[in-house]
A and B are shown apart, each in its own frame.
Chain A
Amino acid sequence: MKKYIVETSLSYPKKGAMGKTGSWRVFKPVLDTKKCVKCLRCWISCPEASIHREKDNSVSIDYDFCKGCGICANECNVKAIVMEREKTKGK
């Protein structure tokens, strides 16, 4: 059988293909672990997969990639996540 080689542009998977998207953020979500009831609503609602889920269902926020949309704070029923304005550096 004759084999054809098709040359095409191929992209490979990489975490952070657009760089550290955390720099897009204006408001930053802050998690209060004492209030958290481990319902995982923030984890499943995050568009960016920036809320990490541990084995015991506790969550932590990855600030390198969080775009600061605020869905997690809006979805949290016990208000364990609040949005705070990012501090500007060097001003």
Chain B
Amino acid sequence: MALKDLPVDECLLQGNASCPGCPATIGLRLVLKALGKKTIMVVPACCTAVIESLYPYTSFDVPVMNIAFEAAAAGASGVEAALRQQGRTDITVVAWAGDGGTYDIGLQALSGALERGTNFIYICYNNQIYSNTGIQRSGATPFAAWTTTTVGGKTEFRKELGEIILAHHIPYAAQTCISYPEDLYNKIKKAMSIKGSKYVEILAPCPPGWRFSMDKTLEMGRLAVDTGAWSLWECENDVMTFNGKSKLLLEKKIERKPIEEWIKYQGRFSHLFKPELDEKRLQAIQEHIDHLWERYRKCYVKI
């Protein structure tokens, strides 16, 4: 799949309420290109609820149901059941939620829907904060990152939701990033072709939340993959495959960049560099990532 083969049609209309340089709209454009118009989206409270813009207009050219924060997966289950009753199997039901609505508030409804095997795609766009309400900490916020509720830096590490999802043994789960459009498109297309519960998580570097220049959105995503802070993988029927750069990193074909390469561009980590270098916490972040990749190698590299 090359860029020129992607469809020209846009289901996300211009002139919406997103910030300049928004990663969610880049992700939404790609996802809706893959899904096409025969889609019903379920959106809980998240930035996308704002991107829909003001009543009586919306910037989405597909049906969208807005629902409470914790109920994205439950709402999607309801939509899917109603469509099944009407015999309309050609329509894809998609729950699109942020990391707050997936890692923290919506986890219970998501776990329930995955356990029931609801035929839908759950997409989490992960910007590692509650950006809609004003940059509060979430379960996805990495260690030592500044948010408005963790002023000196978060003291806990982020949780690995991907592995919690894998424990449900669903037909398809994947992790991707907006910086790799072909990878994202292919994963959504693959998820569409499979029956059962599907989960796709997209890393979305948020310029106002992470405090970096708005033209660097895609660069931040690429650096996150290069430094190992984020990984691209897919798991189909419990067979795990790493994709793209992450595959090369896992097989040690290319060297992983030090984590400073990624965090030095982000204002949310600036307290680690000034007034003086906080080597202790930088080392803790690096050790955490080294440990994570060591575990990946033990679990997923065939000897």
Contact = CB atoms under 8 A, between A and B. Distances in A.
Contact of A19 (B15, B213, B214, B217): B15
Interface string A56-74: 0100001011011111011
A13 to B, nearest CB: 5
Interface in B197-236: 213-219
A15 B55 CA distance: 13
A90 to B, nearest CB: 24
Nearest to A83: B215
B260 interface: no
Most buried by B among A9, A14, A39: A14
Interface string B55-89: 11111110000000000000000000000000000
Interface residues of A, number: 40
A49 B14 contact: yes
B12 A69 contact: no
Interface in A16-59: 16-21, 24-25, 39-41, 43-50, 53, 57
Contact of A17 (B4, B20, B54): B54
Contacts of B217: 47, 69, 71
Nearest to A39: B3
Contact of B13 (A13, A44, A46, A64): A13
Contact of A11 (B8, B15, B57): B57
Given A47-B22, A47-B26, A11 B6 contact: no
A15 B58 contact: no
A15 B15 contact: yes
A84 interface: no
A23 to B, nearest CB: 11
Interface residues of B, number: 39
B270 interface: no
Nearest to A40: B3
B57 A12 contact: yes
A57 B6 CA distance: 11
B52 A45 contact: no
B196 interface: no
A86 interface: no
A71 B57 contact: no
A45 B182 CA distance: 12
Contact of A13 (B4, B8, B61, B219): B61
- Main secondary structure, interface of A, reads loop
A14 B14 contact: no
Contact of A47 (B25, B53, B58, B60): B25
B16 interface: yes
A14 B12 CA distance: 10
Contacts of A16: 13-15
Given A9-B55, A13-B59, A75 B14 contact: no
A64 B58 CA distance: 18
Interface of B: 3-4, 6, 8, 10, 12-23, 25-26, 29-30, 52-61, 181, 213-219
22 contacts: A9-B56, A12-B58, A13-B60, A14-B58, A14-B59, A15-B15, A17-B13, A17-B57, A47-B23, A47-B26, A47-B217, A48-B16, A49-B29, A65-B15, A67-B20, A67-B21, A69-B215, A71-B21, A71-B26, A71-B215, A75-B218, A83-B215
Given A44-B29, A64-B15, 8 more contacts: A12-B57, A13-B59, A17-B15, A18-B16, A18-B53, A21-B14, A25-B20, A69-B22
